[in-house]
A = this chain, B = another copy of it.
Amino acid sequence: MTDLVTAAMIVIGDEILSGRTKDKNIGHLADILTAVGIDLKEVRIVPDEEDEIVAAVNALRARYTYLFTTGGIGPTHDDITADSIAKAFGLPCDYDPKAYAMLEKHYAARGFEFSEARMRMARMPVGATHIDNPVSLAPGFIVENVHVMAGVPSIFQAMLDNVVPTLKTGTKLLSATVHCPLGEGTIGGPLGAIQKAHPDTIIGSYPKSGENGGFYTELVVRARDAGVLETVRAEIAEMVDQLVAKTA
């Protein structure tokens, strides 16, 4: 029996949309979720605009088991994620007493002023659960199925490590790859026939440019059953061998 657990991600930040910062979190989240059997079904990158964040959060949290966000939880004026998440849930956004006390103590110990900007990092929708931040202390947070994390990759990754063990995971989608020295035009027909014969698998074909400028193809079968996976992998490998022999 298979158990489907789905997820979506929202990357929040003008700096990604302007190209100034290149996102490194989408690929990391995709890798981690795939490894634990959660299907990432959609990603949206949205600007630092409250209406846009609220609309994306409400569209995606209703559709998928989990929603993960990155970005916009720091101390500056353009960090509007906590307010936006609160608005999406119709909750007040306020200083969280536990986060406030923790940050106050942290800055006092270092002799830093606990400025209004730093206090901002303790703000979250009332009733949210913390996500611990072992890198720079200020926590992420969880409201229902929405997990709100930092955009700086080292902090995001550390927060995600804390979140993953708490998630309900699904039957892992297994995958097997067949390297194919031929282009997609040659294998497209027979590969489509194999896909049609095995609707319980997902067969992907990914053209790649080789170092010498030529193209090759990676054929990837995905299935939740190991036996089915191996059967279809073997069929695809046999198909490639036959076509290579024919074109040699």
Asked if residues A18 and B30 are in contact (CB atoms below 8 Å), the reply is yes
Query: What 1/0 mask marks residues of chain A from 34 to 50 whose CB sits below 8 Å from any chain B CB?
Result: 10000111111111100
The CA-CA distance from A208 to B155 in the complex, in Å, is 11
Nearest CB on B from A231, distance (A)? 18
In chain B, what residue has the closest Cβ to A30? B19
Query: What 1/0 mask marks residues of chain A from 188 to 224 whose CB sits below 8 Å from any chain B CB?
Result: 1101100110000011111111000001000010100
Interface size on A, residues (CB 8 A): 70
In chain B, what residue has the closest Cβ to A209? B154
Asked if residues A42 and B31 are in contact (CB atoms below 8 Å), the reply is no
Q: What is the interface of chain A mostly: helix, strand, loop, or mixed?
A: mixed
Q: Known: A15-B204, A19-B31. Is A77-B191 also a contact (CB below 8 A)?
A: yes
B-side contacts of A29, CB under 8 Å: 19
Taking CB atoms and an 8 Å cut-off, the chain A residues in 46-81 that contact chain B are 46-48, 52, 74-79
Asked if residues B192 and A76 are in contact (CB atoms below 8 Å), the reply is yes
B-side contacts of A185, CB under 8 Å: 75, 107, 112, 115, 117-118, 121
The CA-CA distance from A4 to B60 in the complex, in Å, is 28
Nearest CB on B from A110, distance (A)? 10
The CA-CA distance from A203 to B31 in the complex, in Å, is 33
Give the contact stretch, choosing among A20-28, A86-94, A159-167.
Answer: A20-28
Number of copies: 2
Q: Is A186 an interface residue (CB 8 A)?
A: yes
Best-surrounded residue of A79, A121, A187, A204 (most CB of chain B within 10 A) = A204
The CA-CA distance from A18 to B206 in the complex, in Å, is 13
B-side contacts of A17, CB under 8 Å: 30, 39-43
B-side contacts of A48, CB under 8 Å: 204
B-side contacts of A41, CB under 8 Å: 17, 47, 52
Known: A14-B204, A16-B26, A26-B45. 4 other contacts (CB 8 A): A78-B203, A118-B185, A152-B209, A154-B209
